[in-house]
Amino acid sequence: MKILVTGASGQVGSELVTALARKYGRDSVLACDIRRMPDSDIQFEEADVRDRDGLGKIIRDNGVQKIFHLAALLSASGEKNPTLAFDVNLLGTWNVLTTARDQGVKQVIIPSTIGVFGPDTPKKNVPPTTIVRPRTMYGITKYAAELLGDYFSSKFSLDCRGLRFPGLISYLSPPGGGTTDYSIEMIVAAAHQEPYECFLREDTRLPMMYMQDAISSLIDLSEADSSRLTRRTDYHVSSFSFTPKELEEELHRHFPSFRVTYRPDFRQEIADQWPESLDYSAASADWGFKPRFDFRHMVSDMISHLARPKVI
């Protein structure tokens, strides 16, 4: 089976491609993105999801049967360039779904995000079915992508599945253009023994997850027995929630001289619309979702991969 990953050079894509190659064999994976993946020996095709013909050719020529559609602009980039976010996130998803339908692809997995929530959404332990009125271009396009996935599943029997990710924390590939990116930047700064200026207020509590758990959740959802699924494109997954101040304090345990200053910018308004925590019981009940990393374990694992030896 050939598995296509769009957005393969991004923060999630680059790690998903490696995990899929390990699980199903290198020849089963085809990576595509607008920019080449650094240091990878996985088959790669340069592709822009806005180009339906180019995408169609890649899917046809390679006999693709499953797609992980990760290409997307994140929340902060989406507010800076709403037209590009609309084109990549929404038209790109339309192109992937229509091409998948027309070429008999078996399954499409589309990650979504807590960005679909808006200021009217309850804040704590939010279940998948709740008030969803996003006010960012990222949220609007990702929510529409969830609905398109539902539509293609029921109308054309295309097996579309998806989950709403919280902020994702990882050390291998840098994130780009997200609101939860502060968490990675803060850990990297501490590990490199540099001060950090945080672009969110110190009391902004958001749900988060370590990348290893995010990658497992994508693969587990894709492999789950369809007869057990009670939802399609909006399973919640999450591991823990914390504020910038709590992360700073945890980092102090490892680096007592670490200093953070707070200077909220336009991303504060985005974060203020998102919930503090998610109810992921449907994912646990339907396909056994269970995160392995808690907050402390995530921080110490990040540091073990990032810390530079101290120069004396």
What residue has token string 């991004």?
Answer: 10
Beta-sheet strand order (sheet of 240-242): 167-169, 206-210, 240-242
- Which residues make beta-bridge pairs with 262? 198
Rounded to a whole number of angstroms, the minimum distance from the CB of residue 173 to ligand AKB is: 13
Residues in the chain: 312
CA distance from start to end of the chain:
52
What residue has token string 């990549």?
Answer: 88
Residue from 179, 239, 273, 277 binding ligand AKB (CB under 6 A): 179
Residue 138 appears among annotated catalytic residues: yes
Residue from 13, 92, 115, 128 binding ligand AKB (CB under 6 A): 115
Residue from 9, 107, 113, 239 binding ligand AKB (CB under 6 A): 113
**Which one, 51 or 246, has the nearer CB to ligand AKB?**
246
277 binds ligand AKB (CB under 6 A): no
Cα within 13 Å of Cα(283), Cβ side: 30
**Which one, 72 or 158, has the nearer CB to ligand AKB?**
72
Q: Which stretch binds ligand AKB (CB under 6 A): 52-60, 148-156, 175-183, 193-201?
A: 175-183
What lies within 8 Å, CB to CB, of 150 at 6+ separation is: 160, 232, 233
Rounded to a whole number of angstroms, the minimum distance from the CB of residue 273 to ligand AKB is: 11
Task: Tell me the DSSP string of 53-122.
Answer: HHHHHHHHHHTEEEEEE-----HHHHHH-HHHHIIIIIIHHHHHHHHHHHTT--EEE--EEGGG--TTS-
Rounded to a whole number of angstroms, the minimum distance from the CB of residue 58 to ligand AKB is: 26
The site string for ligand AKB over 129-148 (x = CB under 6 A, - otherwise) reads ---------x----------
75 binds ligand AKB (CB under 6 A): yes
Q: Which of 138, 143, 196, 210 is catalytic?
A: 138
User: Active-site positions?
Assistant: 138
Q: Which residues bind ligand AKB (CB under 6 A)?
A: 74-75, 113-115, 138, 165, 167-168, 178-180
